[in-house]
Amino acid sequence: MWEFLVVGVVGLVLLAYGGFDADANLVLYTRVTLIAALALAVMAESVGAYDIEAQFSLRLGWRRVVMAWAMTALFLITMGYLLKTSDVVSRAWAISWFASGGGALVVTRAFSTMWVRRLKNSGTFNERVAIFGAGPQGVRFAEYVKAHDRLTITLVGVFDDRKAERLPAAIADVPLLGNLSTLIGMIREGLIDQVVVALPWAAERRLQDVVSRLALTPVKVRLAPDLVSFTFSRRPVVILGDVPVMTLFERPISGLSAVSKDIEDKVLCCIILLLIWPVLLAVAVAVRLDSSGPILFRQPREGFNNKTFNCFKFRSMHHNRLEYNNITQAGREDPRVTRVGRFIRRTSLDELPQLFNVMMGDMSLVGPRPHAPSTRAGGRLFSEVVQSYAARHKVKPGITGWAQVCGWRGETDTEEKLVKRFEHDLHYIENWSLGLDLYILLRTVGAVLLPRNAF
């Protein structure tokens, strides 16, 4: 309401005292001002400028009201063009009005937010809420309300039908006032606006009995989340038919994102192979001449959805020292590594055949590095060190990754190194974008030219 009046007053004040020659079209300017004020009210409502969180948050309120004002300006420009009236309105007045109106809106929202916060602190907007249920569910709900001061709620008290010796005197500093009959009596006296029933959802019969009695009273009755719902309180809820269901986890890279990443992998992989095929040929010849055995080493690795695939690498160890199970990671001056192998491991040239894994769809250019199932850190399997280690397998493994370009590559001989690598892998999975992939690929070039922890 305040914003509606402010932009209207600013427009008319500029019209009267701004020195603009608007006398001949005074009615038109007044109409434009009124239409803009109405449009702002509609736009502000549509972008949530009057929502509770925007009323109490200055930053959020500013952002939404400025967005609404910008949308209003675009609406007026479009209408002026379609109605062929834009030439009649002074551009100097319109620009001045847009700038000064925006400034006035920002100042007005600042004062209104401070005023609303003061009223909130005095309890003006608060609903008087009672909690029925003094068990763990009621405790969790009371603690949640106490921890969120932006909620317009005043907790009157807690009520429960169980015997007094089984109940505490207070819950989260909220007093225990009696049983269901006491609660209904206080509702009849007009002391309570809302009741939150905080009983276990499994106690269906007790829940129905309580709700059926409260349904006869003229207050709002709500059901608190079950205990497990507090754990996932930030998860989105969607409607499946008529049933609300909570989305706990989603596949991180899916839909169009998965298609985009697949196209990125295939296109860039083809370009890279066309550019480096002489390098591949030279390394293959060097490996073959340096020691007997196959040129490529195929080792089982864990990939997307915990599926095992054969990861290709140029052989860097003596063929009779290769390990496929109970893997011991290579260390410095490892006697199993050949002369050529030492060079290609230090320069990461041994990883280049994994480009064919990318073309086959087993790997991606960027992602968590694949590990053999039997690899250990500090004498323990990776999955034993980090219980949620399999979360890395929600996406395809990569030739390079966020952990590698941040310095967490090479031997994971301690549990701390594995945890750090795992944290970086999860960061990549949760924040994936094509831009991040390209950034990692560029940093990989630097990591290869200036290698650390690779042997």
| Domain residue ranges of the chain, discontinuous segments joined by + | 2-121, 127-246, 256-449
Percent of the chain predicted with pLDDT > 90: 14
Task: Report the pLDDT value the prediction gives residue 375, as an integer from 0 to 100.
Answer: 64
Q: Which residue has the higher pLDDT, 131 or 76?
A: 131
Band of pLDDT at residue 50, cut at 50, 70 and 90? confident
pLDDT for 410: 62
Taking each helix axis from N to C terminus, what angle separates 2-17 and 58-82, rounded to the nearest 10 degrees? 50
CB 145 within 8 A of CB 171: no
Token duo for residue 307: 């599926």
- Band of residue 455 on the pLDDT scale cut at 50, 70, 90: very low
195 has a pLDDT exceeding 50: yes
Residues 6+ apart with CB under 8 A from 261: 253, 364, 432, 434, 437
Q: How many CB atoms lie within 10 A of CB 23?
A: 8
Which CATH architecture does the domain made up of 127-246 adopt? 3-Layer(aba) Sandwich (3.40)
pLDDT of res. 304: 87
- Average pLDDT of the chain, as a whole number: 79
Pairing verdict, β 174-178 and 153-159 = parallel
H or E segment and range at residue 14: helix 2-17
The β-bridge partners of 376 are 381
pLDDT band per the 50, 70, 90 thresholds, residue 450: low
Residue 235 has pLDDT above 70, yes or no: no
pTM, two decimals, is 0.52
Task: Calculate Rg over the CA atoms of the chain.
Answer: 33
Amino acid identity at 36: A
Q: How far apart, in whole angstroms, are the C-alpha atoms of residue 351 and residue 299?
A: 12
Q: Does the pLDDT at position 185 exceed 70?
A: yes
Confidence label for 270 from pLDDT (cuts 50, 70 and 90): very high
The CA distance from 332 to 85, in Å, is 78
Q: Kindly give, in sequence order, each residue whose CB lies less than 8 Å from that of residue 274, ignoring residues fewer than 6 positions away.
A: none
Q: What is the pLDDT of residues 162-181, one digit of tens each?
A: 887 777 777 878 888 888 99
- Whether the CB-CB separation of 138 and 158 falls below 8 Å is answered with yes
pLDDT band for position 279 (50/70/90)?
Answer: very high
β-strand pairing of 364-366 with 243-246? unpaired
Whether 105 has a pLDDT exceeding 50, the answer reads yes
Question: 71 CB contacts (<8 Å, ≥6 apart)?
Answer: 43, 47
- Cα gap 415→376, rounded to integer Å: 9
Residue 299 is predicted with a pLDDT of 85
Least confident of 65-74, 91-100, 203-212: 91-100
| Alpha-carbon torsion, ordered 362, 365, 366, 371, to 10 deg | 50
What confidence category does residue 318 fall into, taking pLDDT thresholds of 50, 70 and 90? Answer: confident
Of 61 and 228, the structure prediction assigns the larger pLDDT to: 61
Supply the pLDDT for residue 346.
Answer: 82
Q: What is the pLDDT of residues 353-389, one digit of tens each?
A: 999 999 999 999 999 888 776 665 655 666 555 656 6
